[in-house]
Structure 1
């Protein structure tokens, strides 16, 4: 691989880590469209562009979620009772979601990703927060909610925070606990998602050298190497910068990147 591509992956890792720390969001919304565009520029097979981007992004979230989980646990913000009840559904849903994604062609998968990112961006722009109106459901209901969160997370390579945080706050969980618990839920999502994309891409033909299933190892290593250092920088700046305004700008960037990925897929 050319040195300039390794440098590009390092730069992407720096950006992903910084915004994950600053905005409190996972990096999938940034990584997937940029990785798909970069993979296309490197001449990777068109049919695998989005699947490789999703799998690689999900694998990088493993390390990010571990770091975030430790921090939130240290502050006593993780509701482990919720994690235990929702984790089985999350694991099964995420793993199943990778099989769904593997069977969906590149274009419909890219369209679904772009639509979901538009939804997330609208949440950011409106600063939408559901009003607490009910209690958490029972074990079966929690497993079902976890399954839905897992499936969607696998299809768009996110840690699930954009779904689990609104759900928990709607169920009268304090925002600080909802965010911390979401970070803990992100780990099984990332593990199951990474394993699923690895298995589903294992027998795929035409993947680039350096791939392990639908996970492109050079990108995974370079992004992970840098993002763990830049995330704390973003987290510290979150207390000094006008984050509410930055979220609106970030939402616009997500929409632009998703549109760019769609353009790449359509013109490929």
Structure 2
């Protein structure tokens, strides 16, 4: 009983923090939820498919947090819906492909992919600057399809909302940080729904999953994370418009790097 109480309280706290991060940085909260869910499932005695369940569950929650974040930012007029209309179809296709690829990768391989990519992202969070630019406008076809599809694939493999890639993409192509954060949050909906559905399908009938799971999506984990995340996300979005987030980004980057290094150690040495 004590184990499940710890499980309950941990995921409620993680959900709140993930919601805050989702609204503040437009990143969907997956970089927080995936490692927390992974370690929780391992602790509870379900290591066999822990990473797949962590990624799939995170993607399901991201649908909620990203939609909530977009609505909060839209009230402030910060969401560029024209970008969403042009980029989201290709992101959806990438997300579907990513979830199919993930189903064929063993748990240790998925942990390794998350750890390496999270480590790179932490460096971008720490050293990235808003004044870095590659152009004044986003690229058209065929680069749009290539970039958007890649965002969908990598986000589905990692269980993140695409904001960590999307914010960088939008800022280096001339969008302000506030518009980038708000619009990239919309990428999370385009990624989360099809990718979570893909994890349900690829995990359907697989043995040794945690109880009350739909494929590789843990329904208790989804409920606990979503309950707190959905209420805290608007707070993060509000803070994003009030604070200079540079120091917060650097602190978050350090924490993400430490988690990534620990998961990398787990993937390499077990």
The TM-score normalised by the length of structure 2 is 0.90
Tell me if 1:70 matches 2:76. Answer: no
**Which deviates more, 29-38 or 173-182?**
173-182
Unpaired runs of 5+ in structure 1?
none
Partner of 1:47: 48
Tell me if 1:147 matches 2:149. Answer: yes
Over 3 Å counting, the alpha-carbon distance change for 1:126 and 1:115 in structure 2 is same
Tell me if 1:3 matches 2:5. Answer: yes
2:215 to 213, 216, 219: 213
1:246 to 248, 251, 265: 248
Q: What pairs with 1:76-225 in structure 2 (closer than 5 Å)?
A: 76-129=77-130, 130-225=132-227
Partner of 2:61: 60
Q: Aligned equivalents of 2:251 and 2:50: distance in 1?
A: 27
RMSD: 2.2
Q: Aligned equivalents of 2:106 and 2:259: distance in 1?
A: 20
Over 3 Å counting, the alpha-carbon distance change for 1:232 and 1:71 in structure 2 is closer
The TM-score normalised by the length of structure 1 is 0.90
Unpaired runs of 5+ in structure 2?
none
Contact 2:11–2:36 (CA under 8 A) maintained in structure 1? no
Over 3 Å counting, the alpha-carbon distance change for 1:240 and 1:91 in structure 2 is closer
Q: Aligned equivalents of 1:165 and 1:140: distance in 2?
A: 20
Q: Aligned equivalents of 2:209 and 2:229: distance in 1?
A: 25
Over 3 Å counting, the alpha-carbon distance change for 1:267 and 1:150 in structure 2 is same
**How far did 1:228 drift?**
1.8
Contact 1:91–1:188 (CA under 8 A) maintained in structure 2? yes
Q: Is the partner of 1:78 in helix, strand or coil? A: coil
**How far did 1:217 drift?**
0.6
**How far did 1:6 drift?**
1.6
Contact 1:30–1:257 (CA under 8 A) maintained in structure 2? no
Q: Aligned equivalents of 2:101 and 2:60: distance in 1?
A: 18
Q: Is the partner of 1:221 in helix, strand or coil? A: helix
Over 3 Å counting, the alpha-carbon distance change for 1:221 and 1:72 in structure 2 is same
Contact 2:12–2:225 (CA under 8 A) maintained in structure 1? yes
Query: How many pairs does the alignment contain?
Result: 267
Over 3 Å counting, the alpha-carbon distance change for 1:39 and 1:263 in structure 2 is farther
Question: What does the per-residue CA deviation read over 1:34-69, in whole Å, with 9 as the maximum and x for residues that have no partner?
Answer: 11111000000x330110100011111011011111
Q: Aligned equivalents of 1:100 and 1:257: distance in 2?
A: 24
Q: Aligned equivalents of 2:75 and 2:134: distance in 1?
A: 26
